A and B are shown apart, each in its own frame.
Chain A
Amino acid sequence: MTAPLKRWWPLALLLALTAAPYSALPLPGLLDGPLGSPGSLQLIALCLLYGGLATGYDLLLGRTGLLSFGHALYFATGLYATDLAMLDLDLDLVPAAVFGTACSTVLALALGSVSLRVTGIGFSMVTLAFAQAGAILVQRNPGGRTGGEEGRSAPAQHLPDALVGIQNTANLYWIALAYLVLTLAVVHWTTSSPTGRVWAGIRENERRVEVLGLRPYGFKLLAFTVSGTLAGAGGVVHLLLTGGATPQAAGSDATLALLVMVVLGGSGTRWGPLLGGVLYTWAAHRLGDLANSATVADLPPVLRVPLSQPLFLLGTLFVAVVYLLPGGLAKLPARLRAGRAPAAAAPATALPEGAA
């Protein structure tokens, strides 16, 4: 790879992605229709959105070392708060989106300040409990606001005309792309700032950060809030892309999906979570198609049953990645280059101490 190509490939990729709606390139096997068709654009937009969400989630997991199991809560808050602001408060899209994202920020700040009082895995369990409470609240449909199991669709009268209808899928696609670029920029900017250095220090050894005279609590809370805000903005994009809010967005499976994406792609790397998010979303859609296809229905039960369950395949894939590919896909080129000495890449610390 020549030096300019190495330096400028993200920009070239961005230009190519921006121009994708004008292309009629067929990608058989990867996409059902040609690249610029609404169906393909919708799928790519979802892939880009989840790439951005996974990148935002990695701000916690890979950059600060916080294993949160409640990220879906802030995503769902952005999603539902924006939708309900349009439906019940009669706001237009832009103020509603600002409101929804602000709700995520405030909620992340409030719940983060409680859950960060416990460290290590206790933090994971507490975030999970909060997210579960949120998921239950959405399911129970308090006062008929969230629409329960069915969710609520976004009101067309409050959306700009350019975002409604199948002929405008390209505009939604560009919004998803803009969200991804925004997330990458925020994560890149914050992690290379002095605060980001402290985050990396907390990830490596929290005790040493304390010894240096810094209080990790505030830095962790900042990471939690920034990450929650990014997730809330992602919720707004999801609302536009799918045209409504459904309770699946709030469930613990949604957080676990983000976790799988980040680990699949490579936690703590710049492009890994993006890669993992895109691949996972694409695979989940294609596996869903595979599960319903006639080829699978004709197989003997031993093969048919596992293949008809996308979650089984993804869970197994996840275990395989954790096992065989520590560091995820982003570390794969380096591992291949390292050749026949993969054992040296594994951390040599046997039986590390539990985090105090």
Chain B
Amino acid sequence: MSTVVLLACTGLGLGALYFLVASGLSLVFGLMDVLNFAHGALLSVGAYAAWWAATDGHLGFWLAVAFGTVVGTAASVLLELVLIRPLYARPRDQILATVGVGLALPALLMGIWGSDARPFPQPAALSGTVDLLGATVPVNRFVLVAAALAVLLLLRLFLARTRYGLIVRAGVEDRAMVTALGIDVRRAFTLVFAIGGAAASLGGALAGLYFGSVNPSQGTGLLVFAFVVVVMGGTGSVTGAAVASVGVGLVQQFANYAAVPGLGAAGLGDLSVVVLLAVLLLVKPRGLTGRLA
């Protein structure tokens, strides 16, 4: 029982991390048709900025996380304004440009801080464990889940209650119609990119807490699973992304625990996620929420 609880909490923590990456990815893709390959790099930027602020900058943990989020958001807005915006007439080139950034940014981080993982300073309040139903669960799992829930709530409030949220929702449905109604959808693009970058870099800073260290390829590794989540949840759907993240995180953790001998420790979890994706696509080609992929 205690093992199940621990696995479930760890899976939820991982799912929360996936959600932080995938929510922005899904919104950006749903609204702009841009598959942002630099999203993982934005996560790494957030993670390294938070790490730098916490070690060299001697900031407290929460201030460091805030700093990482701000830096990641700024990088995201810069990316949209400088690279994505001039390429609106060429959607495929937008994707290719983000591929280039996704290659270059982690390489730059590697050049500056080396390819080895850097230990992320853990605040004393969050490095302990709590007893839950007989299991000893690290506190940082709950921090991630709380952050993901807060982001989900804020995103839903933003989408449902604000004028820009309305424009974003309408843009996901039919961008041409929103433009035809005389609304400048480009400002919504920048806004959505900023939101996505903020969520991803917050995820990056908290990933340092979850994994205990930061390394340049962390973001790209998480990005692949975020893609899986986006496909499963249906593009443009924040709630679908949340459900799919939880599913992917739990399946991965439980499959890892049940790893068959011979395949190594962590292989089965990653493979089972891909098998889950294949099965879902065969049964429901349009994702969980039934939107057009």
- Complex-state Cα separation, A326 to B91, whole angstroms: 12
Nearest-neighbor residue (CB-CB) of A352 within chain B: B91
Binds A, one of B1-9, B128-136, B199-207, B225-233: B225-233
Residue B170 lies at the interface, judged by CB distance under 8 Å to chain A: no
Nearest-Cβ distance from residue A335 to partner chain B, whole angstroms: 15
Q: A316 to chain B: which residues have CB within 8 Å?
A: 100, 104
- A305 pairs with B112, CB closer than 8 A: yes
- B274 pairs with A354, CB closer than 8 A: no
- Complex-state Cα separation, A230 to B183, whole angstroms: 48
Q: A67 to chain B: which residues have CB within 8 Å?
A: 92, 95
Binds A, one of B43-51, B68-76, B264-272: B264-272
- Quick one: CB contact mask for B255-286 with A, threshold 8 Å, 1 for yes? 00000001110110011011001100110011
- B103 pairs with A129, CB closer than 8 A: no
Nearest-Cβ distance from residue A5 to partner chain B, whole angstroms: 34
Residue B126 lies at the interface, judged by CB distance under 8 Å to chain A: no
- Quick one: CB contact mask for B92-118 with A, threshold 8 Å, 1 for yes? 110111011111111110111000000
Residue B146 lies at the interface, judged by CB distance under 8 Å to chain A: no
- B104 pairs with A142, CB closer than 8 A: no
Residue B218 lies at the interface, judged by CB distance under 8 Å to chain A: no
Nearest-Cβ distance from residue B173 to partner chain A, whole angstroms: 11
Binds B, one of A164-172, A208-216, A343-351: A343-351
- A319 pairs with B104, CB closer than 8 A: yes
Q: Which of under 10, 10 to 19, 20 to 34, or 35 or more describes the interface residues of B?
A: 35 or more
Nearest-Cβ distance from residue A305 to partner chain B, whole angstroms: 4
Residue A121 lies at the interface, judged by CB distance under 8 Å to chain B: yes
- Complex-state Cα separation, A122 to B236, whole angstroms: 12
Nearest-Cβ distance from residue A283 to partner chain B, whole angstroms: 14
If the complex has contacts A114-B278, A142-B263, are A124 and B35 also in contact, measured as CB distance less than 8 A?
yes
Binds A, one of B82-90, B137-145, B237-245: B82-90
Q: Which of under 10, 10 to 19, 20 to 34, or 35 or more describes the interface residues of A?
A: 35 or more
Specify which of B87, B90, B176, B274 is in contact with A130 (CB 8 Å cutoff).
Answer: B274
Q: B83 to chain A: which residues have CB within 8 Å?
A: 319, 323
- Quick one: CB contact mask for A135-170 with B, threshold 8 Å, 1 for yes? 011001111000000000000000000000000000
Q: What would 14 A/B residue contacts be, using CB atoms closer than 8 Å?
A: A118-B285, A126-B231, A126-B277, A129-B228, A142-B262, A309-B111, A315-B101, A315-B104, A316-B100, A322-B87, A322-B93, A323-B86, A346-B89, A350-B88
B residues apposed to A, CB below 8 Å: 29, 33, 35, 83, 86-93, 95-97, 99-108, 110-112, 175-176, 179, 220, 224, 227-228, 230-231, 235, 262-264, 266-267, 270-271, 273-274, 277-278, 281-282, 285-286, 292-293
| Among all A-B residue pairs, the 7 with the closest Cβ atoms | A315-B104, A315-B103, A122-B293, A319-B100, A318-B100, A311-B107, A312-B107
